[in-house]
Amino acid sequence: MMDSLFGTVLDNTSHEQLYYQLYNILFQNIVEGVYKVGDLLPSEPTLVDYYGISRATVRKSMELLVTNGLVERRRGVGSVVISNQPSSALNKVASYLKRTVTDDGKPFKKVISAHDIKADDKLAKILCVATDIELFELKRVRYGGNTSFYLETVYVVHSYLPDIHKRDFSKESLRSYYFDIMHKRWVRATQHICAEVASANVAKQLQIEPGSPILTIYRVTYDQNNIPREYMIKQYRADKYYLVMNLEN
Amino acid sequence: MMDSLFGTVLDNTSHEQLYYQLYNILFQNIVEGVYKVGDLLPSEPTLVDYYGISRATVRKSMELLVTNGLVERRRGVGSVVISNQPSSALNKVASYLKRTVTDDGKPFKKVISAHDIKADDKLAKILCVATDIELFELKRVRYGGNTSFYLETVYVVHSYLPDIHKRDFSKESLRSYYFDIMHKRWVRATQHICAEVASANVAKQLQIEPGSPILTIYRVTYDQNNIPREYMIKQYRADKYYLVMNLEN
């Protein structure tokens, strides 16, 4: 693990005290994930030796790391990394998608396609089913008046919701169908939020130029048995949406 | 407010019960924000009249909205929207930036520029200062080995940190400088996360093609007196980073 320190030297001519220079090197390495949670930092004698500084200096650096909530000193073990985020880091208190523009037009969803497809390798893996299983694919564009806002693509295993192809999701909420009609219970989801550029096809649906930026959310939702039940892709026009995150101490 | 319902009719020939059709219309309008929190829904008599259905049917729709945590019935007032998010919505439990690739190379930050600029209108507004105030602008690229990962641009009012131009932020953590050296205390931040495409200049720093997608985080951090102290723009290569959000019931 000394590898990560290799090449870094302390600067005796700096206005910065040596303990603070060492602290900074270790801090950077922890925050950058070179040292991971649970890793041991190099021992005091190793650091004394490597940098040619006093034991007291090394201790002072370690104390500052402890104060910042990054390191814990364990008797007989050494200095263990307990967090990669300084305790002064702010905690998320709220996050939500925000429109950059007011959406004055009448909101509605237009169904682009609603039919069965055979799961390819990627979809099969995400939904934990065999390849070629029948999936119901629903694509809708959310409009405000004549302007499109986002494209939504949903995949569910058809046999899980055998009548789903009979519904009209230009009128009905998918969520209401799942929960009110089918009495499904989903408890957990994982979302990946990515910056992408629109393909020709997506651009057409979203009334933008191909290559325009889109904010894409990939979401897998799991039921109470931890079985993935829905895979949803929402492609938002980046000129109309951004994600807001508020953080607090 | 009946405007939003204009043109929607219930379908007597549908396999869907009428109360559920009405519920769906109201649900959609609430979730889409046509009715906002605090808004009154159209009264029972209005809905009875408009759709030509029984009062019992309207009540059943309202009850389902109440069950879903969207509406509260207030005696002598009517049905008030109390949330635009169904209670079955999942709550965020964690979110973090994730690399799509392992970052094997030695991590370091290269300082691209570190100098004063005069606040333009936009920066002045964000940092609540007069136009033309001296801002210290720090641009750094985070590398892993020879590969660039993100570009970071920071603006602070120079007089707030008079010695900041003397520091070497290729070696020192900006965060350590703020908190350990300058003993600043920041309590709150707002982040906007946007999908963008790289300009020629940004693309060059990030070793990508102009027009490639980037995930940009705009962050304003406030001190305990609610004064904005730092404006930071982080431009992440979208081929290397995405945001993960875990949600739970």
- CB neighbour list of residue A224: distance below 8 Å, 6 or more residues apart: A185, A186, A187
Min CA distance, B193 vs chain A (Å)? Answer: 5
pLDDT tens readout for residues A55-79: 999 998 998 888 878 898 888 888 9
CATH no. for A18-86: 1.10.10.10
Residue B72 CA to residue B119 CA, distance in Å, equals: 48
pLDDT tens readout for residues A159-187: 999 999 999 999 888 988 998 889 898 88
**Residue B231 tokens, joined:** 């404006």
Residue B178 CA to residue B183 CA, distance in Å, equals: 6
Give the sheet arrangement for strand A213-223, strand by strand: A107-118, A134-144, A147-157, A228-237, A213-223, A186-197, B241-248, B91-99
Which among B25, B34, B247 has the least Cβ separation from residue A188? B247
Q: Answer yes or no: are the C-beta atoms of B230 and B154 closer than 8 Å.
A: yes
Bigger pLDDT: A143 vs A103:
A143
Which among A196, A197, A242 has the least Cβ separation from residue B194? A242
Mutation target vs B (from A61, A165, A194, A241; most B CBs, 10 A cutoff): A194
Average pLDDT over residues B129-137: 95
**Residue A17 tokens, joined:** 């005290």
B97-244 topology per CATH: Chorismate lyase (3.40.1410)
ipTM: 0.74
CA B88 to chain centroid, in Å, comes to: 21
Least confident span in A214-218, B22-26, B95-99, B136-140:
B95-99
Residue B198 CA to residue B221 CA, distance in Å, equals: 25
Q: What is the residue extent of each domain of chain B? A: 18-86, 97-244
Distance between first and last Cα of chain B: 32
| pTM across the whole model | 0.76
Closest CA to B229 of B238, B237, B220: B220
pLDDT tens readout for residues A221-247: 999 888 999 999 999 999 999 998 888
Do the Cβ atoms of A192 and B106 come within 8 Å? no
Residue B169 CA to residue B164 CA, distance in Å, equals: 9
According to the model, what pLDDT value does residue B216 have? 97
Residue B156, class by beta-carbon neighbours within 10 Å (0-12 exposed, 13-18 middle, 19+ buried)? Answer: buried
Residue A1 has pLDDT above 50, yes or no: no
pLDDT tens readout for residues B79-114: 999 888 776 556 666 677 888 877 667 788 999 999
Residue B167 CA to residue B226 CA, distance in Å, equals: 26
pLDDT tens readout for residues A91-132: 666 677 888 877 667 788 999 999 999 999 999 999 999 999
Min CA distance, A134 vs chain B (Å)? Answer: 25
DSSP H/E element including B98: strand B91-99
Residue A2 has pLDDT above 60, yes or no: no
Residue A5 has pLDDT above 80, yes or no: no
Do the Cβ atoms of B244 and A191 come within 8 Å? yes
DSSP string of A22-73? HHHHHHHHHHTTSSPTTPBPPPHHHHHHHHT--HHHHHHHHHHHHHTTSEEE
pLDDT tens readout for residues B209-238: 999 999 999 999 999 888 999 999 999 999
Phi, psi of A157 (to 5 degrees): -65, 125
Bigger pLDDT: A140 vs A225:
A140
- Rounded to 10°, the helix B18-31/B55-67 angle is 50
Number of A:B CB contacts under 8 A? 175
Which among A24, A106, A172 has the least Cβ separation from residue B171? A24
Do the Cβ atoms of A173 and B245 come within 8 Å? no
**Residue A184 tokens, joined:** 């499904």
DSSP H/E element including A195: strand A186-197
Least confident span in A8-17, B36-45, B54-63, B182-191:
A8-17
In chain A, the percentage of residues whose pLDDT exceeds 70 is: 91
- Work out whether the CA dihedral A119, A122, A127, A128 comes out positive or negative: positive
User: Nearest residue of A to residue B178 by CA position?
Assistant: A88
Do the Cβ atoms of B213 and A195 come within 8 Å? yes
pLDDT tier for residue B1 given thresholds of 50, 70 and 90 = very low
Residue A8 has pLDDT above 70, yes or no: no
Residue B174 has pLDDT above 70, yes or no: yes
pLDDT tier for residue B70 given thresholds of 50, 70 and 90 = confident
According to the model, what pLDDT value does residue B206 have? 97
pLDDT tier for residue B140 given thresholds of 50, 70 and 90 = very high
Mutation target vs A (from B26, B67, B92, B93; most A CBs, 10 A cutoff): B92
